[in-house]
């Protein structure tokens, strides 16, 4: 799918209520899970101990941290949208975020987005994106919510 190209507030405003796009799938490998554990000091065995998880976990394997799944949002979002004339973009908040199905080590996820709302706040564009991160192998939702970004145009 081609990226959505945005040049101005008006481009965003014209898309309210519409699907913006769908990202490619990205695999959450055990290596990525381990790196996230190191970065966050969250080394709970359900994430980083495949042998124990195989024996004791109901999933029979390790699972990605929920916040690892969430942290993939900017990477996946960048596959969907290209904003021109941009000074910077800032994460502003998350609403109605809900973790659904855990992502098992080795599974792949993707992002689906709908532009929920746009506001012009004295030249700063506040954009609310309804998103779903789903799991390729299951077609189930790993995470859903509303992400809010602030876009500062040149």
Torsions phi, psi of 153, nearest 5?
A: -85, 155
Please state the length of the chain.
Answer: 154
Do 76 and 114 meet the contact criterion of CB atoms below 8 Å apart? Answer: no
Read off the DSSP letter of residue 104: B
CA distance linking residue 49 with residue 64, whole number of Å: 12
pTM of the model: 0.91
> How does the average pLDDT of the chain come out, rounded?
95
Architecture of domain 4-28+64-153: Roll (3.10)
HSE-CB of 6 using CA atoms within 13 angstroms: 26
Please write the tens of the pLDDT for every residue from 89-117: 999 999 999 999 999 999 999 999 999 99
Please write the tens of the pLDDT for every residue from 51-104: 999 999 999 999 999 999 999 999 999 999 999 999 999 999 999 999 999 999
**12 burial type by CB count under 10 A (0-12 exposed, 13-18 middle, 19+ buried):** buried
């Amino acid at each position: 799918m081609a990226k959505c190209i945005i040049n101005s507030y008006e481009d965003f405003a014209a898309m309210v209520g519409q699907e913006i796009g769908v990202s490619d799938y990205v695999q959450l490998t055990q290596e990525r899970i381990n790196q996230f554990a190191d970065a966050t000091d969250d080394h709970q065995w359900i994430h980083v101990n495949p042998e124990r998880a195989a024996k004791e976990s109901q999933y029979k394997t390790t699972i990605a941290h929920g916040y690892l799944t969430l942290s993939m949002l900017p990477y996946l979002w960048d596959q969907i949208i290209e904003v021109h004339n941009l000074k910077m973009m800032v994460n502003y908040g998350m609403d109605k975020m809900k973790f659904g199905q855990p992502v098992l080590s080795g599974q792949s996820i993707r992002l689906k987005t709908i532009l929920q709302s746009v506001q012009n706040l004295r030249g700063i564009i506040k954009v609310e994106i309804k998103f779903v991160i789903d799991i390729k192998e299951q077609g189930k939702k790993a995470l859903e919510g509303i992400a809010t970004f602030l876009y500062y145009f040149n």
